[in-house]
Amino acid sequence: MSLNELMIMRHELVLVAAVLALLIIEIGMPEERKQKINVFAAIIAATVTIIGFLPADTGMLFGGMYSTDPLRMLMKNILNIGVFLIILQSVNWLRQDLYKDRSSEFYLLTFSSLIGVSYMISAGHFLMFYLGLELTTIPIAALASYEQFKSKSAEAGIKLILSSAFSSAILLFGISILYAANGDLYFESFQLSDSLINVLGFIFFFSGLAFKISVVPFHLWTADVYEGSPTNVTSYLSVISKGSSVFILTIVLFTLFRVIQPLWEDVLYATAILTMTIGNLFAIRQQNLKRFLAFSSIAQAGFIMLGIINGTSLGMTTVIYFVVIYVFSNLAAFGVLQTVGHASGKLTMDDYNGLYKTNPQLSLVMMLALFSLAGIPPLAGFFGKFFLFTAVAEKGYYTLLLIAVVNTVISLYYYLLVVKAMFINANENPIASFKSDYSMRISLVICVAGILITGFYSPVFEYIKYLCETF
């Protein structure tokens, strides 16, 4: 194996290098200048993201354990951007005295998790996939309880780590059954036999991934963990963790389990309906905005299922395209939550009453983000959602489509509740006017630009479509 060949694994190697670099900087940096680590982390994240876009070879490594191709690279790049944005958003939060001594932990764990994400996406073997999955989750569980003096944070950590351990046990059980039935664990050569036991194996396997995407009925951890974790960790969970799982689920379903497409279509059909509906019904009543966004992200997961059901390259395109938009929209929303929460400690819907009067720009960003999530033109979310619907309609599942569009109306209702709170409701004691920090602003500007441009700039979609067709 030459060095050149190893460079196929560029994304992961760069991340490993980043982790190492951070460790070294952390150790070498004098105590009083520890603050600077935030800047380094942001720079490193930017570098990682940029390197990800550089052209590189694709192919397989380690006898097929690891494989990459332009589509997978794109997926990783999307998530890299997401992580970069999250890191920009966390800088100010980590600067506070409470965390400044251990801010590097946050970055280290985040990057470690990102390594897991990358490996998971590039997995060519169930073992590799499992390793990636665990590497994604475990650091995040630690991060979820990052705020060590808050019992909620610990609770979130516990719920996440135990649920995920439970779910990975089930997933592994599924893999073991698949192994028994087919005698192979390499994706490349995996041939699904028509044994009925595969159904069992597949569904156990699926539930493990569905857990990460928070598909109903495997979603129950989501809201609690999202609420308890630090906001930036929540962003990570809702965007990177979920996005990566969506990607790998799509890949796996479209390749390994292609032969049992009718089966997983049925499973997705049912779970998609449940996910959208339950997510929406719960979101309606939420007061805590993080919890609110948690349920909203469950509902969004339901919409994503719609694209996967399609089962063709169009479906895959729409899913990836939607995730791109979802990254921008959700991160914009969480960014606002983060900065407002950090500045005022306020997090409920009522606290947001009259926000527009004091912080118009943040309110506008939040509104755009929510409208994009709701699928309102001309924002990117509209295009994303419409294309997902296109994917369902192509399949001819008009009943499902009808249920989905009804759900968009319900979702619009609760998104509007937040908009109403910010723009319409009066508040005697509104959140004071404040200025958010530069890195947060940069991040929000990028998000808003993404929300505004992605839809109109069709080459994004066309490029993804091209990659999916050649996948």
- Which of residues 50, 180, 449, 453 is near another protein by CB under 8 A? 180
Cβ-based nearer residue to another protein, 90 or 167:
167
Residue 274 Cβ vs another protein, minimum distance, rounded to whole Å: 9
Q: Which tokens is 44 given? A: 């490193």
Adjacent-strand bridge partners of 186: 125
3-state secondary structure of 262: helix
The maximal CA–CA distance of the chain, rounded, in angstroms, is 68
Question: Does 148 help bind another protein (rule: CB under 8 A)?
Answer: yes
Cβ-based nearer residue to another protein, 57 or 462:
462
Q: Could you tell me which stretch among 35-43, 51-59, 233-241, 374-382 binds another protein (CB under 8 A)? A: 374-382
Residue 101 Cβ vs another protein, minimum distance, rounded to whole Å: 17
Q: Which tokens is 304 given? A: 């994503």
Window 50 to 109, contacts with another protein (CB under 8 A): none
- Which of residues 35, 96, 151, 193 is near another protein by CB under 8 A? 151
Q: Which tokens is 12 given? A: 């992961």
- Which of residues 39, 406, 445, 453 is near another protein by CB under 8 A? 406
Residue written as tokens 């965007």?
A: 239
Question: Does 209 help bind another protein (rule: CB under 8 A)?
Answer: no
Cβ-based nearer residue to another protein, 239 or 368:
368
76 touches 53 (CB < 8 A): no
Q: What is d(CA 112, CA 105) in angstroms, rounded to the nearest whole number?
A: 10
Residue 132 Cβ vs another protein, minimum distance, rounded to whole Å: 11
- CB contact burial 418-456 (16+ within 10 A = b; e otherwise): bbebbbebebeebbeeeebbebbbebbebbbebbbebbe
Q: Could you tell me which stretch among 26-34, 35-43, 66-74, 222-230 binds another protein (CB under 8 A)? A: 222-230
- Which of residues 50, 259, 405, 449 is near another protein by CB under 8 A? 405
Q: What is d(CA 367, CA 420) in angstroms, rounded to the nearest whole number?
A: 10
- Number of residues located near another protein, criterion CB under 8 A: 96
244 touches 121 (CB < 8 A): yes
Per-residue x/- mask for another protein, residues 106 to 145, rule CB under 8 A?
--------------------xx--xx--x---x--xx--x
Neighbours of 24 (CB within 10 A): 10
Per-residue x/- mask for another protein, residues 414 to 433, rule CB under 8 A?
--x--xx--xxx--------
Question: Does 242 help bind another protein (rule: CB under 8 A)?
Answer: no
The CA radius of gyration of the chain, in Å to the nearest whole number, is: 21
